[in-house]
Structure 1
Amino acid sequence: MAPTPEVDDRPRDPQGRAWYQPGWLVKLNLAPFRPRIVESLQDYDRERLWRDVGAGLTVGIVALPLAMAFAIASGVKPEAGLFTAIIAGFLISALGGSQVQIGGPAGAFIVIVYGIVERYGLANLLISTVLAGGILFAMGLFRLGVLVRYIPVSIVIGFTNGIAVLIALSQVKDLLGLHPASMPADFVGQLRTLWACREQFNPYALGLGLTTVAGLFFWPRLFSPSGIVPLALHGTRGFRVAARMPGPMMVLITMGAITALLDLPVATIGSKFGGIPQSLPGLVWPEFSWEGIRHLFMPTFTIALLGAIESLLCARVADNMTDFRRHDPNQELMAQGIANMVTPFFGGIPATGTIARTVTNVRAGASSPVAGMVHALALLLVVLVAAPLASHVPLAVLAGILLFIAWNMGEWREFFKLRQYNYTYRTILVGTFVLTVVVDLTVAVEVGLVMACVFFIYRMSTLFKLQPLPAAGADHNLPHEPAGVAVYRLYGSLFFGAVGKVEELPDQLLPGTRVLVLEMQRLISIDTSGLDALVQLRRTLERRDVALLLCEVNDQPLSLIRRSGQDKLFGERNLLPDLPAALTRARALCEATASAFT
């Protein structure tokens, strides 16, 4: 006789893979390391290559002034932003889980990076970035990419608008031509410093900055069908070439040339930083110490959290703009983690997905991550060939570019639409915004999440109801409950935030009640606190000589009752399949009680 095959009854995931090894040793369900470029290069042809090369070169032109501006605003040298865009941009595209996302230094990091440099120094920024990269990689490896989606949109809008305000404030000194000895990281301190340096105001710097903002605003509008350029010129070669030139690059070249030709007395990259080195970055090895790492826990957590949010939000924007397969959030986080672990050793700063450059990449016709890799190589070529030209770029022009980015970064219309939303949404959004600007981004996100959780618990508790059924027989074609029987129907979810309604139930019963029936057909779930509330309800009723019957208990509550062993406390005879059976049982209990007193 053939032996009976063993049945593998180990718990499995939705793909049919066992979660546990023999011997019930836990097997971690880790995310596979599968960069999107492997899939994208299948059936890759020359046409797609030329599209990616063109898109990469376009994004590289856009990224050049932004990388330098983000670095300077973050309190580091401009080459740190360029090296970050080159190294991190290449790694994020080559190893990421998105088809078209572009990585590099981002405006969202300006406030965080500046604060870390101001408080802990550049060496500790590099350490914090490496540690944040490790956290990001672990988040992706353990499939935590989906958790970022659980952050409420009110918090995202609140801290995004707050960061936009702080970015704009950080550029006021260069916009006005001020040169304070040091600039504090906090909002109030910056305002005081700017006011103390007001006598250093430089009208030439202000003129360059405002002209830059105006140029960025009007440049794309010049080439629209309703623009000021005559329609007769729209089909010319010169018009088509000019229309493809990014606004930031145009104002950078134009304002830089005007400054050099007129010899305007304004600060430039060359006068403040000595220019940009025309060479590859050297290896930087920061000094690691447990004492230093211990103080960097919150900055590290902030970089990791903000990097995860920004990169996955950017990837979702790209998904909505294209017909490519949706991004893999876990692979994207692993790529972001590797990029942030490698870049600091070459003098780089934190990197993440960038919406402006990703949108440019999509609109330029990118079809694979090759475009992002080309963008990084294009920036490397610029550094090796044209770095000396960057010395003539005025800081006021970079300030104007960042002011324009900050304005576009904020979702200001949400403030005007607050009346359309409930009190919870308004409180979380405004609270997160104010805390981001006045206190700190980390505190803002923490408090915002706590407020969101508290409001959610309160809202869910209001959905739980205990409704008396005084005429169950008339409503359900059932026998009328005898005197001394109270019937209540439970709705929603009985969890720790709603147990107060169950605790108040004994005081709501009429005098002479002998049996309480809880009809639980519409109770979809219960947690351990809810079960404990039912247990305490039964004990309270028992002291008052009132029996408790549960009927039509759904699978999840019934499973918890049985797994916890509380079915023995309630008694199997008191767990009824439906309301008619419960009323029959209640009638029998009332009659037994009545006969005991006669």
Structure 2
Amino acid sequence: MEKLKPKLFSVLKHYSKEQLIKDIIAGIIVAIIALPLSIALAIASGVNPERGLYTAIIAGFFISFLGGSRVQIGGPTAAFVVIIYGIIEQHGVNGLIIATIMAGILLIIMGLLRFGSLIKFIPYTITTGFTSGIAVGIFAGQIKDFLGLKMGSVPSEFIEKMKSYGEHISTINGSALLIGVISLLILIFWPKITDKIPGSLIAVIVTTILVKFMGMHVNTIGSVYGELSSQLPTPQVPDFSFKVIKSLISPAFTIALLAGIESLLSCVVSDGMIGSKHRSNMELIAQGVGNIFSSLFGGLPATGAIARTAANVKNGGRTPISGMVHSITLLLILLILMPLAALIPMPTLAAILIMVAYNMSEWRVFVDLVKSAPKSDIIVLVATFLLTVIFDLVVAIEIGIVLAAFLFMKRMADVTDIKGWKYLEEEDYDEDNDPENISLKKVPKHTLVYEINGPMFFGAADKFMDITNESERKIKVIILRMRSVPAMDATGLHTLQKVEKICKKKHITLLFSHVQEQPLSVMEKSGFYQEIGEANFCSSIDDALEKAAMIQSV
């Protein structure tokens, strides 16, 4: 069983001075990458810029300190932007804090119950659908600042948002658009020059200097949000009631699910990069603790950030120390340099988030899935995407999972079938021209053999009732061969009970062949096994056929 022990305590046993230096350098570089991104994500979420840094500092530290990965970098991510914006609009910042604490508690419970491995059962089509939907939502949210539109608050709903942009399109600020385009060009082409210094930092420096010294009329963080605080807030417990908690259960569950999926996905990616193996359940606990403390200090929901984790690995980070250095570096920047952040142009942050949206959209993967995936998967993919864009992430995930479950059950029902064996003694039977005769055994007269393939569950229950419809023949024995039935639910059992009653009414003996462990356990617990009788359960089809022949001779 997987250990519930932070990776930090394991790697320190063989820690060296050389690795410490590499971890410190990697942590500082990742902090530089995280600085503009954390501020931009906070603004896109509808909160003050400082809250993004609080999240990266507090949550990032605990995720590294307690996490199950050697190199995970925690902090705010684009995946949460849409849901945070919606929670704040409906429940305010206090509601966001409560929802994040609840999500943290859920994550800890998931880790303690060792649910880490269950996250992989979320269908790929759902994660791709809502990720692409989030990307569209983030892009749409940046249009106002990128174009410098003069308008009030932006509606949270996608359709209303686009209508509002259309109504104010004539208020485009040329200077803002120019700064946005310059920023976007830097973000696109700078990585082709070097990846040692992040393009987002260069874009921030260049455009801040242009706006400041050329006197351009462009909104900056300071002009929109006023003076920025350079201190960490004191922890505060939010006001809450049962009614508030009840209303936030669904958003809290979505935050927890998103944090779990994204953090473990990041762990899997980083494992492949460094040849390590993460502890998924410990990672969930660390994510939970990180989110609880982040919210208490005024931060946002946090999770493992794939891009920052990859940057950590590429720059030499190999232990959780680098993630802790990243948090400490951001804390020093907050305390010393935060007032300078007020000079950053809003179109620059919008451009940074547009690039984030493009990178997370995975539009090529989306198109490939639409071209090559089965129709049921395409339905789930497109439905989740549209629901995320038009409504919200909570609705998209709930309906997406339910839809995927129903389509999966239909697919399982489609592959479950019942095959009846033929009488080899029939006068018109041509053994030489029967392509299946090699696999068939001699079936005694007045005996029917049915081989069931696939799970016996409620989605396929109707198929089993055909077993007893052979009324025109003088059937004395029916054999159900169940070697290919891996599982059975209550509905499948109920169907067998109905078959048994019909057989008893028609004076037909019901035999079972090669019943696997799980279906047999279900039968024993319900008393069905005892009702049929141990003697009527055969270990192989040969034994069942022999017993059928004996019954005929009596």
Q: Which TM-score applies when normalising by structure 1?
A: 0.87
1:430 aligns with 2:401: no
- Taking the aligned partners of 1:220 and 1:352, their CA distance within structure 2 comes to 25
- Taking the aligned partners of 1:377 and 1:579, their CA distance within structure 2 comes to 69
1:458 aligns with 2:429: no
1:253 aligns with 2:205: yes
Closer, same or farther: CA 529–273 of 1 in aligned 2, 3 Å: same
The letter for the 1-side match of 2:328 is: L
For 1:550, the equivalent position in structure 2 comes to: 512
For 1:596, the equivalent position in structure 2 comes to: none
1:70 aligns with 2:32: no
Closer, same or farther: CA 276–569 of 1 in aligned 2, 3 Å: same
Q: Is the 8 A contact 1:118 1:184 kept in 2?
A: no
1:63-100 deviation line (CA, Å, top 9, x unaligned): 01001000000000101111111111111111111100
1:409 aligns with 2:371: no
- TM-aligned CA deviation for residue 447 of structure 1: 1.1
- Taking the aligned partners of 1:580 and 1:40, their CA distance within structure 2 comes to 58
Closer, same or farther: CA 560–122 of 1 in aligned 2, 3 Å: closer
For 1:44, the equivalent position in structure 2 comes to: 15
| Aligned with 1:526 (options 488, 495, 499) | 488
Closer, same or farther: CA 540–38 of 1 in aligned 2, 3 Å: same
Closer, same or farther: CA 479–83 of 1 in aligned 2, 3 Å: closer
Q: Is the 8 A contact 2:72 2:266 kept in 1?
A: yes
The letter for the 2-side match of 1:329 is: S
For 1:346, the equivalent position in structure 2 comes to: 297
1:84 aligns with 2:46: no
For 2:318, the equivalent position in structure 1 comes to: 367
- Taking the aligned partners of 2:145 and 2:441, their CA distance within structure 1 comes to 83
Matches within 5 A, 1:278-289: 278-289=230-241
- TM-aligned CA deviation for residue 127 of structure 1: 1.6
- Taking the aligned partners of 1:67 and 1:263, their CA distance within structure 2 comes to 27
1:127 aligns with 2:127: no
For 2:307, the equivalent position in structure 1 comes to: 356
Q: Is the 8 A contact 1:494 1:527 kept in 2?
A: yes
The letter for the 2-side match of 1:495 is: F
User: Secondary structure of 1:42's match?
Assistant: helix
Closer, same or farther: CA 94–470 of 1 in aligned 2, 3 Å: same
Closer, same or farther: CA 61–544 of 1 in aligned 2, 3 Å: same
1:568 aligns with 2:530: yes
Closer, same or farther: CA 90–276 of 1 in aligned 2, 3 Å: same
1:511 aligns with 2:473: yes
For 1:173, the equivalent position in structure 2 comes to: 144
- Taking the aligned partners of 1:258 and 1:208, their CA distance within structure 2 comes to 8
Q: Is the 8 A contact 2:23 2:318 kept in 1?
A: yes
User: Secondary structure of 2:5's match?
Assistant: coil
Closer, same or farther: CA 317–578 of 1 in aligned 2, 3 Å: closer
1:466-519 deviation line (CA, Å, top 9, x unaligned): 111104687479984343222222222222222211112222554333322222
User: Secondary structure of 2:219's match?
Assistant: coil
| Aligned with 2:461 (options 489, 492, 499) | 499
- TM-aligned CA deviation for residue 109 of structure 1: 0.7
User: Secondary structure of 1:182's match?
Assistant: coil
- Taking the aligned partners of 1:459 and 1:359, their CA distance within structure 2 comes to 37
How many residue pairs get aligned? The number is 543
1:415-441 deviation line (CA, Å, top 9, x unaligned): 321221111211111111011111111
Q: Is the 8 A contact 2:3 2:279 kept in 1?
A: no
Matches within 5 A, 1:325-336: 326-336=277-287
| Aligned with 2:447 (options 467, 485, 498) | 485
- Taking the aligned partners of 1:564 and 1:345, their CA distance within structure 2 comes to 50
| Aligned with 2:334 (options 365, 371, 383) | 383
Closer, same or farther: CA 479–36 of 1 in aligned 2, 3 Å: closer
- Taking the aligned partners of 1:508 and 1:205, their CA distance within structure 2 comes to 79
1:41-68 deviation line (CA, Å, top 9, x unaligned): 1121111011001101100110010010
1:211 aligns with 2:182: yes
User: Secondary structure of 1:470's match?
Assistant: coil
| Aligned with 2:288 (options 306, 327, 337) | 337
| Aligned with 2:72 (options 101, 126, 130) | 101
1:117-168 deviation line (CA, Å, top 9, x unaligned): 1111111111211121111111112211222111011111000000000000
1:370-397 deviation line (CA, Å, top 9, x unaligned): 1111111111111222122111110000
Percent identity between the two aligned chains: 41
- TM-aligned CA deviation for residue 216 of structure 1: 0.7
Q: Is the 8 A contact 1:486 1:509 kept in 2?
A: no
Q: Is the 8 A contact 2:514 2:539 kept in 1?
A: yes
Could you tell which deviates more after superposition, 253-262 or 124-133?
124-133
Runs of at least 5 residues in structure 2 that lack an aligned partner in the other structure = 426-430, 432-436
- TM-aligned CA deviation for residue 317 of structure 1: 1.3
- Taking the aligned partners of 2:52 and 2:258, their CA distance within structure 1 comes to 18
The letter for the 1-side match of 2:489 is: D
The letter for the 1-side match of 2:253 is: F
1:515-543 deviation line (CA, Å, top 9, x unaligned): 22222333333333222211210111222
Closer, same or farther: CA 368–200 of 1 in aligned 2, 3 Å: same
The letter for the 2-side match of 1:322 is: I
The letter for the 1-side match of 2:527 is: G
For 1:232, the equivalent position in structure 2 comes to: none
Give the structure with the higher percent helix: 2
Matches within 5 A, 1:202-241: 202-223=173-194
- Taking the aligned partners of 1:544 and 1:258, their CA distance within structure 2 comes to 92
- TM-aligned CA deviation for residue 572 of structure 1: 3.4
- Taking the aligned partners of 1:342 and 1:532, their CA distance within structure 2 comes to 50
Runs of at least 5 residues in structure 1 that lack an aligned partner in the other structure = 1-14, 16-30, 224-242, 593-598
For 2:217, the equivalent position in structure 1 comes to: 265
Closer, same or farther: CA 127–575 of 1 in aligned 2, 3 Å: closer
Q: Is the 8 A contact 1:73 1:170 kept in 2?
A: yes
- Taking the aligned partners of 1:255 and 1:478, their CA distance within structure 2 comes to 78
- Taking the aligned partners of 1:489 and 1:162, their CA distance within structure 2 comes to 45
- Taking the aligned partners of 2:87 and 2:520, their CA distance within structure 1 comes to 52
Q: Is the 8 A contact 1:515 1:548 kept in 2?
A: yes
- Taking the aligned partners of 1:179 and 1:36, their CA distance within structure 2 comes to 50
- Taking the aligned partners of 2:252 and 2:423, their CA distance within structure 1 comes to 61
The letter for the 1-side match of 2:297 is: F
- Taking the aligned partners of 1:583 and 1:91, their CA distance within structure 2 comes to 64
- Taking the aligned partners of 1:356 and 1:479, their CA distance within structure 2 comes to 60
Aligned-residue CA RMSD (Å): 2.0
User: Secondary structure of 2:458's match?
Assistant: coil
Q: Which TM-score applies when normalising by structure 2?
A: 0.93
1:564-597 deviation line (CA, Å, top 9, x unaligned): 32233223343334334433433444455xxxxx
- TM-aligned CA deviation for residue 265 of structure 1: 0.6
The letter for the 2-side match of 1:192 is: K
The letter for the 2-side match of 1:323 is: G
1:168-204 deviation line (CA, Å, top 9, x unaligned): 0011110111243222211112112222222321111
The letter for the 1-side match of 2:269 is: V
| Aligned with 2:263 (options 289, 306, 311) | 311
Q: Is the 8 A contact 1:133 1:339 kept in 2?
A: yes
Q: Is the 8 A contact 2:82 2:392 kept in 1?
A: no
- Taking the aligned partners of 1:211 and 1:478, their CA distance within structure 2 comes to 74
For 1:226, the equivalent position in structure 2 comes to: none
